[in-house]
Amino acid sequence: MVSHLTPCASSQFIDIVLEFVALERRPSLSNASPRLPPELLDQIVGHLHDDRRALSNCSIASRALLPRARHHLFSHIRLNDS
């Protein structure tokens, strides 16, 4: 399961996912490249739930990851009384 990755392995995992997303975005390969199932995208972004930087990068990298990352980025909103 993805949740048992060490920080180094987690970083490598994120790099692999972002490479795959970059391949999907290329116009010439868009029809030939396989798409990741939505359930797998949910697990990937769910694994990153406490890494705001990685979530921000995912939201920029792919339209498919944006709503998933946004859910974790804005699940808790703090209002200050100033």
CA distances from 55 to 45, 48, 70, 74 (A): 7, 6, 8, 11
Q: Is the pLDDT of residue 69 over 80?
A: yes
**What is the mean predicted confidence (pLDDT) over 7-33?**
63
pTM of the model: 0.58
The whole-number pLDDT of residue 10 equals: 66
